[in-house]
Structure 1
């Protein structure tokens, strides 16, 4: 199969490369672009380890062909850091509240949680549990992940109020 020229924005940077149209976005990110935050998990869209933000929506990059991502704006966990390279509030809350153990699911969890907080800046615990249901973790039991997301929402909202 012939390769196509792929051009998209990843973490705010215009990138391009060659890939077969049937190449999955997760493989293009990891193998062609060396963006290794999103992980290859189940490759069936069940685990969420490969979750990225694409054009303002959470997507599981193991279900998107690179041809479908042509021209898209993709954000991975690496793109969520602050401009100075420090951890974002959400990333810091995952660290502070022990919302990770082995870390395999963490990039997908944080990327999905980022979009969840964009969609609902003041979620309840039930909102968080429902919104994160497509991301699986085998280590934590989710309690600290939920605490981390709720703490991030509180911190982000407090920062917004202080700035107003």
Structure 2
């Protein structure tokens, strides 16, 4: 499997101000290979991960995870400024819309029914779309917040996992990467 990372790589190189030569050196790839990826050549998944790890650009990492595994990604359009204040305002809006749909469509009652009508399934779908909007906005807010602090969502997660394990939110036997 190969993929094209031209756009996210170009944005990330510009944003992080990392030169292609430095990226090549830090990833162990040739400068010609990096230049090929910037020009639109297909990249192997393991090389895309190496590039994202070196660049430490949360938005690029989210995009790679989305492309490779179908994971959620952050919003990256131009409907709003991508700074914490603007994202906080949009997060409040999306959370409010989710809660309003939950109340309007009586979701607690709908999800407890053994059988639903097609109309009720549509109401459930309406609410789930609002949940999706709110989740993606939260992810976008998380990415921007970690960038502001000069870290990544993965770094934040790794530091937080012991707490989640202590709370029994996550198991301690999950697989980890060996470096």
User: Structures share a fold, TM > 0.5?
Assistant: no
Higher strand share: 1
Q: Which has the larger radius of gyration?
A: 2
* TM-score for both structures, normalised by structure 2: 0.25
Higher helix share: 2
Structure with more relative contact order (C-alpha pairs < 8 Å, separation 6 or more): 1
